[in-house]
Structure 1
Amino acid sequence: MKFIHTADLHLDSPFLGLQDAPEDLWQSIQQSTFTSFERIVDDALKFKIDFICIAGDIFDRDQRSIAAENFFVRQCSRLQDANIDVYLSYGNHDYQMVTDETKVLPANVHVFGNQVETKTLKLADKTTVAISGFSYGSRWIDDDQTSEYPIKANVDWQIGMLHGALTGLKNPHDNYAPFTVQELLDKNYDYWALGHIHKRQILHRNPIIAYCGNAQGRHRNEAGPKGYYLVTEENQQLVPEFHETAPIDWQTISLELEETDSAAELVTSLQRQVELQVNDTKLTLVSIQLTGSEKLTDELIVQLDNGSILARLQSQIKDTATLKFWPYEAKIRVSVDQPSFTSLDQHYWDEAAQTVFTHENITQLAEKLFQHSFIADQFSQPQTLTDLQQAVTMALQTTQNQEEQQDEDSANSN
C-alpha cells in the first residue's frame, strides 16, 4: 500500500504585504500554494499511489474563490483519471456544513461529514483500508473529538485523519479540536494523518502520528522545506517519507551594518551580504535584520526606518538577470532587553506580562477581528505576541519617561 498524507494547502492565501513585488514575482507568490499542490498531484501520478489523504484547510478561507475551487476540481480530476481516490476533511479555515447538495467535486473525492465517520476501501490486491475523520462545521471546535473515533475495525489498515492540536497548558490552539497522543494511541490505528499545525513533525513513531506541515510557507514563521509525506508499507508498518514541493521559501538574515554615510553604498553592501547568505536553491523571500546602527548617520537611519533604503534595494535587485531573492523588509533589530523600567518595578511588569499577553486574552479582546482567518493566524504565532509585548513595553516606557520629565520640569520651575 502507498498513499500521500498532505494538509493545509491554503489555496488562495493572500500573502499580505508582498503586493509591491515585481509583477512576475507577485504572480509566482500568489500561485505558490497552487503550484505546490499541483506538484503533489504530479508525484501521486508518478508514484502510482493508491489514495491521498488531505487533513483539512484545503482552501485559505471558508468563502473560497471560484478560481481556487476550479483549480482543485481539475487536480482531483487528474487523480480520478488515474483511479486514485481522494479522502479529505475541511478544517478551521475552510469550514462548512457538508451536505450532498453542496458537493461539486469529482466522484473519486470522498468528503468527511461534520461528525466523525469511517470510509472503507478495498485496494486492487484485496487489502482493506478504513479511514476515519470529520470536517469542521464552524471555525472553532473546543471539544476533544477523539472519543468519537472508533477503535480499529476488522481491516488490514486503519488511518485516522484529524485537523487539530495537542492539548496542554498555554496552548494557543486549544480551540481547534484538542487531543492527546495517548488518546490517539488508544484507538490502535496504523497511522494518524494530522493537519492544522504548519510545522512538520512526528509525534509518535510506532504507530506514526504525524503532522505533514503545510504545503507552502505563507510568512516568515513558516520557513524551511514544505511538502507532503509519501507513506508506504514496510515490514507491516506504515512509514512516511517527506517530499518537498513548495516553490518559494522564507529566510531571515541577520547582518552587521558596515560604516558608511552613503545610501548607495549601504544598498550595495546589503545586496552583497544577502547574496552570500541567501538560500539560492529556490526563490526566497528575505527579512533583513540589521545591527550596528551606530555606524550610520542619522539620515541613513531615518531612510531605513521609513523604507527608502528597502525601496532602493528592491529597485536595484529588479535589474538583476535572475531574481533569486526578494527582500520584503529591512529593519534595525531592537534588543529584546530594552527598554527597562526605572521607577516601575521591572519584576512586577515581567510577571504581569506573562498573564496579559496570551492568545486567549488577545482572542477575547479582538473576537470580531479574529473572524478573519489571516488575522487569527497571525496572532497565533508566538513571535506576534512577543512583538506586541515589546511595542507595549516601549509605549509604557515612553509615557513614563515623559511623566518623569514633566515632574522634573515642574519641580525646577518651583
Structure 2
Amino acid sequence: MKFIHTADLHLDSPFLGLQDAPEQLCQSIQQSTFTSFERIVTDAIKLGIDFMCIAGDIFDRDQRSIAAENFFVKQCERLKAADIDVYLSYGNHDYQTITTTTHILPANVHVFGNEIETKQLTLKDGTTVAISGFSYANRWIEDDKAVDFPVKSSVDWQIGMLHGALTGLKNPHDNYAPFTVQELLAKNYDYWALGHIHKRQIIHENPVIAYSGNTQGRHRNEAGPKGYYLVSEQNQQLQPEFHETAPIDWQTQTIKLDQESSAADLVSNINHQMEEQIAQKKLTLVSLELTGATLLAPQLITQIDNGSILTRLQSQIMTVNKIQFWPYEIKIKLDEMRPDFASLDQQYWDKAAQNVFTTENVTDLAEKLFSYSFIEEQFSQPEILTSLQQSVSLALQTNQNQEEQQDEDSTDPN
C-alpha cells in the first residue's frame, strides 16, 4: 500500500512582502500554489498510489475563488481518470458546513463531515483501510477533537486525518482542534496525517504522527523545501518519504561587504555575491543580510534603510531575460551594527530591549491590533522579535550617524 499525505495547499493564497515585484514575477508567484499541487497530482499518477489524503486548508479562505475551485476540480478529475481516490477534510481557512450538496467534486473525492467519521476502502490486493477525520464548520475549534476519534477497528491499516495543533504549549494555535500525542497514540492507528502547521515535521515515529507542512512557502518564515509525504508499507509499518514540489523557495543570504565608495559599487558587490551563492534551480525570493556594515559611509546606510539600494538592485535584476532570484528586502546584521551609545545610555538600552522585545509583549500587541491568525503566528516567532530589535537598533544608529555628520558640518570652517 502507498498513499500521499498532503495538507495546507492554500490555493490562490496571497504572498506577503512582494508588492513591488515586476509583473512576470508576480504571475509566477501567484501561480506557485497551483503549480505545486499540480505536480503532486502528476506524481500520484506516475507512482500509481492507492489514494491521497489532504488534511485541511485546500483553499486559502472560506470564500474561495472560482479559479481555485475549478483548478482543484480539474486536478481531482485527473486522479479519477487514474482510478485514485481522494480523502479530504476542510480546515480553519476553508471551513464550511458539510452537506450532500456543498461540493461539486467528482465521485472519487470523499469529504469528511463536520463530525468525526470513518471511511473504509478495500484496495485491489484485498488490503482493508479505514480513514477517520472531520472538517471544520467554523474558523476556530477550541474543543479537543482527538478524544472523539474511534479506536482502530478490525482493518489492516487505520489512518487518522487531523487538522489541528499540538497542545500543552502556550501558543496562538490553541484555537485549532488542540490535541496531545498521547491521545493520538491511544487510538492505535498506523499513521496520523496532520495539517495546519506549515513546518514539515514528524512528531512521533512509531507509529508515525506527521505534519506534511504546506506545499508552497508564502512568506519569509516558510522557507525551505515544500511538498508532500509519500507513505508506503515498510516492515509492517507505514513510513513517510518527502518529495519536493514547490516551484519557489525563500532564502536568507548573508552578504559580506568590503569598503565601498559609492552606491553603484555596493549594488554591484551585492549582485555578484548573490549570483555566486544562490543555486538557480528554481525561483528564489531572497532576504539579504549585510555584514561588515561598519565599513559603509553613513549616507549609504541611510540609503539601505530607506530602500534606495534595494530599488536600485531590483532594477538591475529586471534587465535580465529570466529572473532567477529576487531580493525583497535588505537588512544590516545587528552583530556588525550595534548602537554606539554612551555607557549610561547603553545600560538603559540593553535593559529596555530585554524587557520590551519579548514573545509575550509582541504577541499581546498582535492580538490587540490584528484579527487574522497568520499575523499572530508570525509575531510569536523568535526570529521576528530579533528582526524587530535589529530594525530599531539600525534606526537609532542611522539617526546617530546623521546627527554626528550634522555636528561635523556645523563645526567645519570650510
> Which TM class, normalised by the smaller chain length?
0.7 to 0.9
Tell me which residue corresponds to 1:43.
43
Deviation at 1:297, TM superposition (A): 2.1
Tell me which residue corresponds to 1:404.
none
The answer as to 2:368 corresponding to 1:365 is yes
Tell me which residue corresponds to 1:104.
104
Tell me which residue corresponds to 1:237.
237
Contact 1:61 1:373 in 2 (8 A): no
Tell me which residue corresponds to 1:60.
60
**In 2: Cα distance, 1:48 partner to 1:147 partner:** 34
**Structure 2, unaligned runs of 5 or more:** 399-414
The 1:396–1:280 alpha-carbon spacing in structure 2 relative to 1, beyond 3 Å, is closer
Contact 1:128 1:157 in 2 (8 A): yes
Residue deviations 1:78-118 (CA, integer Å, cap 9, x gap):
11111111111111111122222211211111111111111
Matches within 5 A, 1:157-172: 157-172=157-172
Which amino acid is the alignment partner of residue 151 of structure 1?
Answer: V
Contact 2:8 2:196 in 1 (8 A): yes
* 3-state DSSP of counterpart to 2:101: helix
Residue deviations 1:357-393 (CA, integer Å, cap 9, x gap):
263x245413xx32x4553443354433444566689
Deviation at 1:226, TM superposition (A): 0.7
**In 1: Cα distance, 2:73 partner to 2:131 partner:** 22
Bigger Cα displacement from structure 2, 77-86 vs 382-391: 382-391
Tell me which residue corresponds to 1:30.
30
Matches within 5 A, 1:317-336: 317-335=317-335
Matches within 5 A, 1:208-247: 208-247=208-247
Bigger Cα displacement from structure 2, 350-359 vs 70-79: 350-359
Residue deviations 1:9-54 (CA, integer Å, cap 9, x gap):
1111111321322222211111011000000000010011111000
The 1:356–1:16 alpha-carbon spacing in structure 2 relative to 1, beyond 3 Å, is closer
**In 1: Cα distance, 2:325 partner to 2:304 partner:** 19
* 3-state DSSP of counterpart to 2:253: strand
**In 2: Cα distance, 1:27 partner to 1:392 partner:** 34
The 1:343–1:248 alpha-carbon spacing in structure 2 relative to 1, beyond 3 Å, is closer
What is the total number of aligned residue pairs between the two structures? 394
Residue deviations 1:310-357 (CA, integer Å, cap 9, x gap):
111111112234422111111223359768966759668735754742
Which amino acid is the alignment partner of residue 239 of structure 1?
Answer: Q
**In 2: Cα distance, 1:99 partner to 1:334 partner:** 54
Bigger Cα displacement from structure 2, 275-284 vs 222-231: 275-284
Contact 1:122 1:129 in 2 (8 A): yes
The 1:96–1:376 alpha-carbon spacing in structure 2 relative to 1, beyond 3 Å, is farther
Which amino acid is the alignment partner of residue 127 of structure 2?
Answer: T
Which amino acid is the alignment partner of residue 357 of structure 1?
Answer: N
**In 1: Cα distance, 2:224 partner to 2:244 partner:** 10
Contact 1:90 1:96 in 2 (8 A): yes
Deviation at 1:205, TM superposition (A): 1.3
Which amino acid is the alignment partner of residue 99 of structure 2?
Answer: T
The answer as to 2:80 corresponding to 1:80 is yes
The 1:50–1:343 alpha-carbon spacing in structure 2 relative to 1, beyond 3 Å, is closer
The 1:365–1:391 alpha-carbon spacing in structure 2 relative to 1, beyond 3 Å, is farther
CA RMSD across the alignment: 2.6
Contact 2:8 2:56 in 1 (8 A): yes
Contact 1:121 1:129 in 2 (8 A): yes
**In 2: Cα distance, 1:355 partner to 1:218 partner:** 22
**Structure 1, unaligned runs of 5 or more:** 399-414
The 1:296–1:343 alpha-carbon spacing in structure 2 relative to 1, beyond 3 Å, is closer
* 3-state DSSP of counterpart to 1:326: strand
Question: TM (normalized to structure 1)?
Answer: 0.88
The 1:131–1:64 alpha-carbon spacing in structure 2 relative to 1, beyond 3 Å, is same
**In 2: Cα distance, 1:302 partner to 1:12 partner:** 37
Question: TM (normalized to structure 2)?
Answer: 0.88
Contact 1:357 1:385 in 2 (8 A): no
The 1:256–1:246 alpha-carbon spacing in structure 2 relative to 1, beyond 3 Å, is same
**In 1: Cα distance, 2:395 partner to 2:259 partner:** 30
Tell me which residue corresponds to 2:89.
89
Bigger Cα displacement from structure 2, 262-271 vs 89-98: 89-98
Deviation at 1:200, TM superposition (A): 1.1
Q: Identity, % of aligned pairs? A: 68
Matches within 5 A, 1:197-216: 197-216=197-216
